[in-house]
Chains A and B, each alone.
Chain A
Amino acid sequence: MRIPFVRGGAEVLAKELRRVLVEAGHQAEIVAIPFKPYPPERILDHMLACRLLDLSETACMPVDRLIGLKFPAYLIPHRDKVIWMLHQHRQAYDLWQNPLSDLHTYANGAEVRAAIHAADTKLLPQSRALFTISRNVALRLKTYCGLHATPLYHPPQDAGRFYTRPAENFLYFPSRIDPLKRQSLVLEALAQTRSQVRICLSGPIEEPGFEGKCAKLAHKNGLENRVQWLGAVSEEEKRDLYARSLGVLFPPLDEDYGYITLEAMLAQKPVITCTDSGGPLEFVMHHQTGIVAEPTPEALAAAMDSLWDDRERARQWGDAARQRYDDLHIDWENVLEKLLA
């Protein structure tokens, strides 16, 4: 399932999955069905379109396994389907009535939401097995649909290329500049730190105007000298920034999974995240591999100060984070074994 012209984590994941399948000696291909979720009745059309497709065979040869990733493409029927759910249609679930959503603002929103719930609840169990990319996604599935799914973790891209260096004087916050990633919360927190904490942000700008808002916020609080905006950076630069940082900031709102946590762990850095950040909470162990703070400027500021003031402890937590990554066996072999079982 994909939205034309939009490339995000899901597209990267699909390609990675195909790559590792091919490397493991399988024939693998991505089928991406376009999806436009508005007006709400179009969601129903696209669900039906997916149900009508027949992927049982290709040129008279059976397709041995179908791996469904995203709504509504994971509803495509197949006798040997396994779902590895990236996410459901969140506006019909946890983001229903969220200010960032719009489904609930339509007259037929509730009706369409009910149809999505019904389709997921009834059709997801038709698959041979149900996995999710994270515990957070599995938890939502349990809460809203009463379905049990097993989280199946996968490594970030180029996991083998992350390395560490001695900490320098900045906390690193890599993320799309986007309200859901809460750069503005971090800037507010920075204004309240006791120490002269410095942060470095990188990532493409998703929402026009949001960067301006953040810049204004930084200016208002006289933080210009303590904030560095790098914009979009290359993968190499990103790995270098991870390696040289004192720690990594990653306080998104209810993230599904979040490669950033894993990348920080690979770079042996402690992670500051929030109690409502979702995915990162599956990996960050409070006061062992990082800090889990309340999503308030005060709490985040305290967390930043605490890393800033005790470098030795920050280093130990970073080491522990890397150890935890290794203990979790986050590798593609494990993913393939489960998806193809």
Chain B
Amino acid sequence: MKVLVVTSGVPFIRGGAEILADSLCQALSVAGHEAELICIPFKHYPPSRIPDHILACRLLDLSETSGVRIDRVIGLRFPAYLTPHPNKVIWLLHQHRTAYELWDHPMAGDLIHYPDGPVIREAIRQADRGLIPEAKAVYTLSESISDRLRRFCGITAEPLYSPPAHASLFYDGSPGDYFFFPSRVTRMKRQLLVIEGLARCRERTRVRFAGEADNPGELAACVDAIRHLKVENRVEWLGLVSEEQKCDLYANCLGVIFPPVAEDYGYVTLEAMLSSKPVITCTDSGGPLGFVVDRQTGLVADPTPESLGQAMDALWVDRRCASAMGEAGRARYEDLKISWEHVVEKLLC
């Protein structure tokens, strides 16, 4: 098949969505298809630019290329997924979140601050509600994205999970004396909450953090808390680590801690499962809750220092249980058929 993967992006910015789009194209080629990525530039401010970009995407014609039919278009991000095509499938990575659940979010909300914000929000919602159903099929990246789509737009979509990059490199080593928390250091990932949880533990639990800080302020706040709570000896701050180091850190930890706020998907959960490790997450963490089965493949705690501390203690004192949960996590990963072959099959059928 000739397949176009269509997404939106901000020039010069590369993140998870860009990596996912590239991986999808690669998986399509591996499966023997001709695949190409189209990235339409998107600038979402001032808000009036958003309808312009929606219209621009609606005006593009991807039905054929030099007289040859394009068999399938796979739309990923707003507003590019609105580009029309008779054989379009949407694999929704992102709606425009500040028009939905982040509308009045204290940190993320932006549309809300503009006089024309409410009108634009309505335009975005109408475009999504009216035009997403044009697709032959709609999938999302995760359960939490499906939930939002149902809640806000009344559209049902099956989540279609993608494996993390380098999935085959993860392995199970021997569980050591530390929890592992790999993530960008930022408020939404809640490193600070984990440090506070650590301080509430009865056991002398230890945590290794890996990942770069979004800004120096985040890091400073964590360092302050560590000193203030006197847990210096129980915390290791690794910063940015290589893929190889990361795999080793997963393989040799006792368990993985991943308690973000409303994560869309979260590769950390999957990487932990691939490494046969239990995951501690929180009731409001979003994506991880689609994978972590409480007390079977990990622990789902309340987002409080006390509750997180208890979860860490529980795994620390019962290492056999921790290891059994880890194995159950690995088995669950296999059951979920999280593979590019599966993704490609679904998106092209």
Q: How far is the CA of A193 from the CA of B123 in the complex (A)?
A: 70
Smallest CB-CB separation from B62: which chain A residue?
A: A34
B12, B38, B53: the one contacting A54 at CB < 8 Å is B53
- Residues of A close to B56: CB separation below 8 A: 48-50, 52-53
**Which residues from chain A contact B57 at a C-beta distance below 8 Å?**
49
CA distance A90 to B62 in the complex (A): 21
Residues of A within 8 A of B64 (CB): 36
User: For residue A34, which residues in chain B have a CB less than 8 angstroms away from its CB?
Assistant: 4, 38, 60-62, 65
Asked if residues B11 and A31 are in contact (CB atoms below 8 Å), the reply is yes
Q: How many of B's residues come within 8 Å of A, CB to CB?
A: 29
Residue ID in chain A nearest B67 by CB atoms: A38
Tell me if A54 and B2 are in contact (CB < 8 A).
Answer: no
CA distance A54 to B65 in the complex (A): 25
Complex interface bits, A1-17 against B, C-beta within 8 A gives 1, otherwise 0: 00111100000000000
A119 within 8 A of B: no
What is the bound-complex CA distance between A278 and B40, given in angstroms?
34
Chain A residues with a Cβ closer than 8 Å to the other chain, count: 27
Contact B4 A59 (CB under 8 A): no
- B62 touches which one: A4, A27, A31, A61 (CB < 8 A)? A4
B346 at the interface (CB under 8 A from A): no
* Chain B min CB distance to A178 (Å): 13
* Docked pose: A43 CA to B169 CA in angstroms: 47
Closest CB-CB distance, B40 to chain A, in whole Å?
A: 7
Partner of A36, one of B12, B43, B62: B62
Q: Report the minimum CB–CB distance from A273 to chain B (whole Å).
A: 28
Enumerate A17-38 residues with CB–CB distance to B below 8 Å. 27, 29, 31-34, 36
Whether A49 and B60, one on each chain, are in contact in the complex, defined by CB atoms closer than 8 angstroms, is yes
Question: Chain B: which residue is nearest A55 at the CB level?
Answer: B41
Contacts of B68 in A (CB 8 A): 5
By the criterion CB–CB under 8 Å, are A29 and B11 in contact? yes
Q: Residue A45 at the B interface, CB < 8 A?
A: yes
| CB < 8 Å neighbour of A42 from B12, B38, B61, B70 | B61
CB of A63 closer than 8 Å to a CB of B:
yes
Q: Is B310 an interface residue (CB 8 A)?
A: no
**Interface: B19 (CB within 8 A):** no
B53 near A52 (CB under 8 angstroms)?
yes
How far in angstroms is the closest Cβ of chain B from A34? 5
User: Contact at A5–B65, with CB atoms within 8 Å?
Assistant: yes
The CA-CA distance from A27 to B4 in the complex, in Å, is: 27
Partner of B12, one of A4, A6, A27: A27
A4 closest partner in B (C-beta): B65
| Residues on the A chain within 8 Å of B23, using CB | none
Provide the bound-state CA to CA distance between A6 and B36, in Å. 10
Among candidates A4, A50, A55, residue contacting B43 with C-beta atoms closer than 8 Å: A55
User: Cβ of A33: which chain B residues have Cβ within 8 Å of it?
Assistant: 40, 60
A59 to B11, alpha carbons, bound, how many Å?
9
A4-B4 in contact given A54-B49, A58-B13 (Cβ < 8 Å)? yes
Q: Does A57 contact B (CB under 8 A)?
A: yes
Query: Is A56 interfacial (CB 8 A cutoff)?
Result: yes
A53: chain B residues within 8 A (beta carbon): 40-41, 43, 52-53, 56
Complex contacts, A55 vs chain B, CB 8 Å: 11, 41, 43
- Is A117 in contact with chain B by the CB < 8 A criterion? no
Q: What is the bound-complex CA distance between A57 and B12, given in angstroms?
A: 10
Q: Which residues of B have CB within 8 Å of A148?
A: none
Chain A interface residues toward B at CB < 8 A: 3-6, 27, 29, 31-34, 36, 42, 45-46, 48-50, 52-59, 61, 63
Can you list 24 A-B contacts with CB-CB less than 8 angstroms, sorted by A residue number? Answer: A4-B36, A4-B62, A5-B68, A6-B65, A31-B39, A31-B41, A33-B60, A34-B38, A34-B62, A36-B62, A36-B64, A36-B65, A46-B60, A46-B61, A48-B59, A49-B59, A49-B60, A53-B43, A53-B53, A55-B41, A58-B10, A58-B12, A61-B12, A63-B11
Given contacts A27-B12, A48-B56, 20 further A-B contacts (CB under 8 A): A3-B66, A4-B38, A5-B2, A5-B36, A5-B65, A5-B68, A32-B38, A46-B59, A50-B56, A52-B52, A52-B56, A53-B41, A53-B53, A53-B56, A54-B41, A54-B43, A55-B43, A56-B43, A58-B10, A58-B11
